[in-house]
Structure 1
Amino acid sequence: MASEEKRIEDELSYPILLAERVRATVDEAQSFKLECSEVWKQVDRLLQMLRTLVRFATTTPSLYERPIRRVAADLSKNLERALTLVRKCKRQSILRRVVNIVGAADFRKVMNYLEASVGDMKWLLSIFDTDGAGGGGIVLSLPPIASNDPILSWVWSFISSIQMGQLNDRIEAANELAALAQDNDRNKKIIVEEGGVSPLLKLFKETSSPTAQIAAATALCHLANDLERVRMIVNELGVPIVVQVLGDSPIRVQIQAANLVARMAEHDPVAQEDFARENAIRPLVTLLSFDTFDDDHTGQLGKQSIHSIIQINKELEKKSLTSRSSNRPFANSYSNSYLHVEGSSRAGNHRKERENEDPMVKLQLKITCAEALWMLAKASVSNSKKITETKGMLCLAKLVEKEQGELQYNCLMTIMEITAAAESNADLRRAAFKTNSPAAKAVVEQLLRVIKELDSPTLQIPAIKSIGSLARTFPARETRVIGPLVTQLGHRNPSVATEAAIALCKFACPENFLCVEHSKAIIDFNGVPALMRLLRGNEDSQLHGLILLCYLALHAGNSESLEHARVLTTLEGADRTFSQHPELRELVPRAIVHLNLYHAGSHSQRMSYYP
């Protein structure tokens, strides 16, 4: 609610004042006395209900004010109409009586307005249950004020129950809001505009009831598919709440919390940054790592984790006072090569629950955690860096090796985003993908395995993109990454073949310090014939195939493979076809000139075209 809004007591005092004025004016009426008394009867009913509502509003600590303000504003307008009408019935001069003609139709119209307000007030008192313990169950009746939009009254009733009702009513109302939000974006907009986010977040913190947390998280996930709505959740301080629940809750609640992280980070870069600032990456990696590593790897991975342990301990020292005062589980440690939340006895209990949980539930937790890491890493160098610092890369590599389906895909997409960040940031590239880094080696091994062994374009494409993003990290002797990419140039799926060409371009482009060595390796792996076949594909394949062919010509122009494949003739034809393409306008002529240096003869006359 906006801070500029009047207090709810002030909001209700105005219609009460109007009702009292109507009473005084009715007493002074000289005409239509019977009609004026009927008006007063309706106004008196409203006055009694208003006073009941005021008593309730002033004694309820967590009052849901939105429908009260809407009904009070509408009621004030109707009372103003009634006051204006009865004033015309006072003793006046003949001239004013001629000007202000009052008829029975005017009274019927005002009575209809007042009856509508009586219906609104009855409905309002019913959702607050002012005769009971304060805050009743769900009310699905339709007040006149929402007659043209039933969804509005349902949303008011559900939010009121979540904010003020008993626990069972709050859970039911959250599930109802989730169902409404799932239907369409208009319902989502109404829920957010009517103040539904804050009560849902409050219910999400209800650690005594996992059912309530799941219901609230489900509703919030349905709302979080739009930047504006996600920003509302962020502005209601939703990010620290989600991270707290993620770190210390039963597994089924953690699934929903991780899903909420993914949805919010996907649609709002501010939420993406805030989650990293609140340290959401560590519990996500913790949960993703659970049961991932075998005991055989413990010693080896323990050695690899020394740097991370030092970094984490430094952070823990800074946050120890905060964790003690807020009871948040910051006491993390490495065990069996992955982080465990051991900051409270409750966290220990949750860990035991995870160990005994249904395997399908544990799988779903890992799927959602991997997706959350993917969305946090997307287009974010800082978040990608944090994932690599928590040994997330080792975990992702292991899951790519062991798992299948959605979990494997989400892990590959996370790796793809991290490697894309490394491609754009030299510091991250040097820190996380050094040639002697065990994590980097594990990731590359699995990427190559996916490219070579799995016949799935959905999985091969992110793996190929990842290898391409790491092109500048491979030394000249590391030719084993070139072969699988060259092989994929002939893949039956044009998207896979095109991605292979794009990846190889990153090895052979002038920006790569080892472009000459990599270009020769591509040719040695019989890349030229495969590339020539790719040029018979669609426009996208032709474009990237030609770019790669030009790089090979520029950096290994004396190769016999280029001459045997009649690459010079192909490029001359491409020069006419793609002469206006921005990426090829200068590249193709340069490649032709360079090839003519080595393959003079029948094509030497073409040199006259270029200075």
Structure 2
Amino acid sequence: MATELEEKLIEEELGYPIRLSEQVRAAVDEANWFKLECSEVGKQVDRVSQMLRTMTRFASTAQFLYDRPIRRVTAEVSKNLERALTLVRKCKRRSVLRRVVTIVSAADFRKVQSFLESSVGDMRWLLSIFDTENGGSGGGGGINLSLPPIASNDPILSWVWSFVATLQMSQLPEKIEAANELASFARDNDRNKKIIVEEGGVPPLLKLLKDGASLEAQIAATTAIYNLANDQERVRAIVNELGVQIIVQVLSDSPMVVQTQAARLVARMAEYDPVAQEDFAREHVIRPLVTLLSFETFVDDHKDQLSKQSFHSIVQINKQMEKKTLTRPNSSRPYSNSNSNSNSNYYHYYYHNNEGSSRAGQHRRERENEKPEVKLSLKISCAEALWMLAKGSVLNSRRITETKGLLCLAKLVEKEEGELQYNCLMTIMEITAAAEYNADLRRSSFRINSPAAKAVVEQLLRVIRELDNPVLQVPAIKSIGSLARTFPARETWVINPLVTQLSHRNPDMAAEAAISLGKFACPDNFLCVEHSKTIIEYNGVPQLMRMLRANERAQLHGLILLCYLAIHAGNSEALEQARVLTALEGADRTVVAQHPELRELVSKAIDHLNLYQVGVQSQMHSFVP
């Protein structure tokens, strides 16, 4: 609803051209020259004035008012009325000298009359989208796609005005149609997106989404907003209209199809704007996302646990859950409590927390009866949203692990395939990347004795070993590398699959394996010596030597890992047998020329190997009989 200040401003803007029209009428009555032409101008001005007054009456009584087209049309009408006033005033009787200086021609009148005709057309169009009596947007009629003169060079503008006015002031079927039209426009090009946002299209779309009047309305609204949200500036406009809170609420309490769209929207907004990424986390979006992602994932595990419990213990658990349901206050954001014991409990609690709502109960039944492809689509969208929320964010990565999200992700990597499996792997990759540079997150979420961490590592290694798909293997390899500092020296089984990938037919895969192994063998790793020896034991050196003959990226990272091995395990026979010293000396003249930052590392590795081999030769000579 427009505030009194906004209504006053609109009335003032409409009042100015009305006063101009009165001045033109007075000037027409005083005209002595071109009286016929002035009279025609006066008639057109009267028509404009009448429509301006009609618009003013509507603006002063309307509960909802979309003011963008009113302001633009009124400004243009005022310019044309000023032109008419200037011309008609020149026709008043004056001295002969003034008549000679001020020359008025019939062409001037034709030009002004053309401007006034445009104003009449603009005002007629404006009334058509607002006037309740004429079946415009305000009266529940169809969408007006006629073209006013003001938008003759840019028809998109007038169509957007009509759609937004329909969204604000029409009945539900017309609102749905308008939202779908805006979604289509926004899909076409970025200029259309910009116009929709600038002309105030975001607030009514969010309102349509929030009201939840129908499934079709919410889908139309989320689709339109999603199509707009591929640019940081536009995403920020959605955030500024409290879009984050609305989307989180819809995600928590809507039919599954709408939740899927809302999760996609969370992913896109978090991807393009760090402010949106932070705001979504602040509004507790991660818990419902994890809950929806774990929907049915732990059902079998839960049944197995129940089958092992006595009948008495099951009864006691049910009583405790009923007690919690009765005493827990209603909340607009379920899962605000972080003390749940498992992901299966999150799903159980979500519905019990909303049991008093018939709508929530209905949604629960709908979820249970949904088609498998709908459930899969929801999980894919939730996994993507978690991926984008975790990307580059230590805080959000921690929040995901605190909701037991790691165990859920590991389960899905194990059981699923395709896009869902990929999104889960990418989420894990972002969480482990955050843990690599944050010791607190690493210690709290990836302890060796943590069941969730164990499950994640096992699935990552399974993907690396068993799947022949670089798209899935690369994030798994990167994740293991990010966790390099969490593995003790005895966990050699983690290193072997990475060493195997050094001989992969795809040189980029081999390079990724070398990068991850480099994090085990680099000086920053406390166990770099032990890990370097393990890499050599698993026959890593010959494979690295072959990498030096591959593409530039594989050469670079293979060389770096070879240097680490030479520095930390230079007394290995495998290095001498593979003639690593000769290879490093050759690389010092070729690869280092392209990457001068490696000069110190390669030089240090060569020195270590020279010292050892000289020592060995001296020792051999001293034992000659």
Q: TM-score, normalised by structure 1?
A: 0.93
1:32 partner letter = F
1:295 partner letter = D
Matched, 1:593 2:607: yes
Q: 1:423 aligns with which of 387, 412, 436?
A: 436
2:475 partner letter = P
Q: Corresponding residue for 2:144?
A: 139
Separation in 2, partners of 1:174, 1:464: 43
Q: Corresponding residue for 2:459?
A: 446
Q: Corresponding residue for 2:233?
A: 228
How far off its partner does 1:206 sit?
A: 2.2
How far off its partner does 1:137 sit?
A: 2.5
Residues 492-542 of structure 1: per-residue CA shift (max 9 Å, x gap)? 111111100000000000000000000000001110011111111111100
Deviates more, 1:156-165 or 1:397-406: 156-165
How far off its partner does 1:463 sit?
A: 0.2
Q: Corresponding residue for 1:466?
A: 479
Separation in 1, partners of 2:437, 2:489: 21
Q: Corresponding residue for 1:357?
A: 370
Separation in 2, partners of 1:547, 1:354: 52
Separation in 2, partners of 1:517, 1:347: 56
How far off its partner does 1:335 sit?
A: 6.9
SS in 2 for 1:177: helix
Q: Is the 8 A contact 2:288 2:335 kept in 1?
A: no
How far off its partner does 1:573 sit?
A: 0.5
Residues 45-76 of structure 1: per-residue CA shift (max 9 Å, x gap)? 11111111111111112111101100000000
Residues 140-195 of structure 1: per-residue CA shift (max 9 Å, x gap)? 11110000011111111111111111100000010011111111111111111111
Q: 2:392 aligns with which of 368, 376, 379?
A: 379
Q: Is the 8 A contact 2:143 2:163 kept in 1?
A: yes
SS in 1 for 2:211: coil
Q: 1:170 aligns with which of 161, 171, 175?
A: 175
How far off its partner does 1:33 sit?
A: 1.1
Separation in 2, partners of 1:185, 1:5: 32
Q: Corresponding residue for 1:475?
A: 488
Separation in 1, partners of 2:301, 2:400: 24
SS in 1 for 2:347: strand
Separation in 2, partners of 1:264, 1:470: 28
Q: 2:301 aligns with which of 296, 301, 307?
A: 296
Query: What are the within-5 Å matches in structure 2 for residues 161-560 of structure 1?
Result: 161-297=166-302, 327-329=332-334, 336-340=344-348, 341-342=350-351, 343-344=353-354, 345=357, 346-560=359-573
Q: Is the 8 A contact 1:329 1:347 kept in 2?
A: no
Separation in 1, partners of 2:211, 2:506: 50
SS in 1 for 2:503: coil
Q: Corresponding residue for 1:69?
A: 71
Q: Is the 8 A contact 2:294 2:343 kept in 1?
A: no
How far off its partner does 1:296 sit?
A: 2.9
Q: Corresponding residue for 1:306?
A: none
2:287 partner letter = R
2:180 partner letter = N
Q: Is the 8 A contact 2:244 2:276 kept in 1?
A: yes
Change (3 A) 1:278 1:376: same
SS in 2 for 1:586: helix
SS in 1 for 2:63: coil
Q: Is the 8 A contact 1:248 1:329 kept in 2?
A: no
1:492 partner letter = R
Q: Corresponding residue for 2:11?
A: 9
Separation in 2, partners of 1:170, 1:154: 14
How far off its partner does 1:336 sit?
A: 3.0
Separation in 2, partners of 1:382, 1:335: 20
How far off its partner does 1:6 sit?
A: 7.0
Residues 565-588 of structure 1: per-residue CA shift (max 9 Å, x gap)? 000000011111133424411000
Residues 453-496 of structure 1: per-residue CA shift (max 9 Å, x gap)? 00000000000000000000001101111000000001111111
Question: What 5-or-longer segments of structure 1 have no aligned partner?
Answer: 302-312, 605-611
Separation in 1, partners of 2:112, 2:193: 35
1:599 partner letter = Q
Q: Corresponding residue for 2:158?
A: 153
How far off its partner does 1:95 sit?
A: 1.6
Q: Is the 8 A contact 1:295 1:336 kept in 2?
A: no
Deviates more, 1:237-246 or 1:50-59: 50-59
Q: Corresponding residue for 2:314?
A: none
Q: Is the 8 A contact 1:192 1:229 kept in 2?
A: yes
1:87 partner letter = R
Separation in 1, partners of 2:566, 2:54: 87
C-alpha root-mean-square deviation of aligned residues, in Å?
2.4
Separation in 2, partners of 1:497, 1:589: 24
Q: Corresponding residue for 1:25?
A: 27
Change (3 A) 1:397 1:46: same
Q: Corresponding residue for 2:623?
A: none
Q: Is the 8 A contact 2:58 2:131 kept in 1?
A: no
Residues 356-404 of structure 1: per-residue CA shift (max 9 Å, x gap)? 0010000000000000000000000000000000011000000000000
Separation in 2, partners of 1:118, 1:247: 49
Q: Is the 8 A contact 1:293 1:337 kept in 2?
A: no
Change (3 A) 1:506 1:335: closer
Separation in 2, partners of 1:335, 1:289: 7
Q: Is the 8 A contact 1:18 1:76 kept in 2?
A: yes
Q: Corresponding residue for 2:586?
A: 573
Q: Corresponding residue for 1:117?
A: 119
Q: Is the 8 A contact 2:291 2:343 kept in 1?
A: no
SS in 1 for 2:103: coil
Change (3 A) 1:5 1:188: farther
Q: Corresponding residue for 1:305?
A: none
Q: Corresponding residue for 1:37?
A: 39
Question: What 5-or-longer segments of structure 2 have no aligned partner?
Answer: 307-320, 619-625
Q: Corresponding residue for 2:130?
A: 128
How far off its partner does 1:349 sit?
A: 2.1
SS in 1 for 2:133: coil
How far off its partner does 1:442 sit?
A: 0.4
Q: Is the 8 A contact 1:508 1:519 kept in 2?
A: yes
1:266 partner letter = E
Separation in 1, partners of 2:516, 2:364: 42
Change (3 A) 1:594 1:335: closer
